[in-house]
Amino acid sequence: MQGHGYAPPPPPDPAAGSPVTLRVLFVVLAALTCGFLAWAAMLRLALVTRKVRDWVLFAAVVAIEVVAVVLIGIDQGEEEFAAPGNAGMTILVSTVVPVIAYYLTMDIRHFARVGRDRLPYQQTQFGQTPYAQTQFAQTQFGGYAPQPQPPQPQPPQPSYGYPAQPAPAPAPAPAPTP
């Protein structure tokens, strides 16, 4: 009955909810502006992943949207768009779906990879197995209990200049009397 007991639950990750919240924010931003602010999602992706491919795609989306805005700006239609304005709006609206799909796919993959890479490097406290690596088995009462883990090697303790003293031998138990 003695020992460390159950491993404490891991501390909550302060950024656990932020990737999902930011994904929703950037997707809504791109969709509600009909693609006009789709570059913001690509900028966030390029900043987070720091990959050359994402920076190139961000520059391409910005260039496409600048062309679309220029086409809308030079339109001479009074009440309705004419040919250049229609082309500009078509370009803006048609960039929404590919940008959102790419942004969500790559952002989810990036954070899944970061989470997977972080697991083996979790620090332990008092020689306990990290919560994420504890193996659980179902108990007879329907709950889950951690399974025993092989003993962890303990690091040598510093001596601080004192000579090591062996532990005293236990006293022999008295013989039972008849």
Q: What is the DSSP string of 47-86?
A: HHH--HHHHHHHHHHHHHHHHHHHHHHT---SSS--HHHH
Q: Is residue 83 part of a domain?
A: yes
Q: Is residue 49 part of a domain?
A: yes
pLDDT value of position 121: 46
pLDDT value of position 162: 59
Q: Tell me the CB-side half-sphere exposure of residue 87, using CA atoms within 13 A.
A: 11
Q: Is residue 73 part of a domain?
A: yes
Q: Is residue 151 part of a domain?
A: no
Distance CA 70, CA 135 (A): 59
CB atoms under 10 Å from CB of 151, counted, come to: 7
Q: Is residue 51 part of a domain?
A: yes
For residue 119, which of 107, 130, 135, 108 has the smallest C-alpha distance? Answer: 130
Q: Is residue 17 part of a domain?
A: no
Distance CA 38, CA 24 (A): 13
Q: Residue 56 is part of which domain span? A: 31-107
Q: What is the pLDDT along the chain (178 residues), one digit of tens a residue?
A: 566 777 777 665 655 557 888 999 999 999 999 999 999 999 999 999 999 999 999 999 999 999 999 999 998 878 787 888 999 999 999 999 999 999 999 999 998 888 766 654 455 455 555 554 455 555 555 555 555 666 777 766 666 665 556 667 777 777 777 6
Q: Is residue 147 part of a domain?
A: no
Any idea what the Cα angle at residue 74 is, between residues 71 and 80, rounded to 5°? 85
